[in-house]
Amino acid sequence: MEIRAEKSDDTEAVYQVNVAAFGRKSEADLVDALRGAASALSFVAVESGQIVGHVFFSPVEIVGVCADDVLVFGLAPVSVIPNYQRQGIGSLLIQYGLKECAQLGGSAVVVLGFPEYYSRFGFTPAREKGLECEYPVPDEVFMVLELESGALEGCVGMVRYCSEFNKLE
Ligand SMILES: CC(C)(COP(=O)(O)OP(=O)(O)OC[C@H]1O[C@@H](n2cnc3c(N)ncnc32)[C@H](O)[C@@H]1OP(=O)(O)O)[C@@H](O)C(=O)NCCC(=O)NCCS
């Protein structure tokens, strides 16, 4: 199993991984729409030459009070094709991606998803760190991970994803 940055000729395979994992095209189309976003990061999991998993990180905006040098990424989407799920591939992708976000100077990463899953990577409810979601979701599903302890100190506000996310139902 290799985890690596997405390359230009991976686009179609990444599209198909997202369609297979989510059972619809919305997330795959979202990735295509976001790919050009400044500072966006995309990683794939490759098994025997086949792309079987994918994770994407895009910058989010904190609408509120936050130092200018605070860089926060949104983790979304993450996908593993059904036959390869529950074998640790999603975890490898997320851990790899978090390290890369930190190397790029990222302060924190937010995610909207299953609390039982993301808590194993250290994510905790974002509201406890002063951040709220722009979408009406229960507090426990919107989570944040500081990539460096205290990186979000003094930040209070609403997290706004790239506008492409607004099309997602
Ligand atoms: C979520 C996903 C990326 C995880 O990838 P994975 O390679 O299966 O994950 P791992 O093997 O690292 O971890 C497996 C764990 O994921 C968690 N998990 C997977 N699907 C889940 C779901 N629908 N609800 C809650 N937890 C889930 C479970 O805790 C599972 O642990 P278990 O096997 O002990 O039950 C993958 O299941 C997937 O592509 N799902 C469809 C797309 C999706 O929902 N993406 C996430 C949106 S937040």
Question: What are the pLDDT digits (tens) for 41-94?
Answer: 999 999 999 999 999 999 999 999 999 999 999 999 999 999 999 999 999 999
Determine the pLDDT at residue 169.
Answer: 78
What residues does ligand 1 touch, defined as CB less than 6 Å away?
A: 21-22, 77-80, 85-91, 113-114, 116-117
Q: Which of 117, 143, 161, 165 to mutate to test the pocket of ligand 1 (most atoms within 8 A of CB)?
A: 117
Whether omega for the bond prior to residue 77 falls within 30 degrees of 0, making it cis, is yes
Average pLDDT over the chain reads 96
Q: How far is the CA of 75 from the centre of ligand 1 (A)?
A: 14
* Domain 2-167 listed as CATH 3.40.630.30: yes
* pLDDT tier at 162, thresholds 50, 70, 90: very high
Residues in contact with 115: Cβ distance below 8 Å, sequence separation at least 6, in sequence order? 123, 125, 140, 141, 143
Kindly report the number of other CB atoms within 10 A of residue 50's CB atom. Answer: 12
B/e letters for 112-141, b = 16+ CB within 10 Å, e = fewer, are bbebeebeebebebbeebbbbbeeeeeeeb
Alpha carbon distance 93, 110 (integer Å) = 15
Q: How far is the CA of 26 from the centre of ligand 1 (A)?
A: 18
Determine the pLDDT at residue 65.
Answer: 96
CA proximity to 153, closest of 75, 65, 58: 65
What's the pTM? 0.96
User: pLDDT, tens digit, for every residue of 16-33?
Assistant: 999 999 999 999 999 999
Determine the pLDDT at residue 168.
Answer: 87
Cβ burial, residue 26 (10 Å; 0-12/13-18/19+): middle
Residue with the smallest CA separation from ligand 1 atom 44 is 22
Residue with the smallest CA separation from ligand 1 atom 14 is 86
Residue with the smallest CA separation from ligand 1 atom 9 is 90
Residues 104 and 72 sit within 8 Å (Cβ to Cβ): no
Q: How far is the CA of 94 from the centre of ligand 1 (A)?
A: 11
* pLDDT tier at 114, thresholds 50, 70, 90: very high
Question: Rg for the chain (alpha carbons), in Å?
Answer: 15
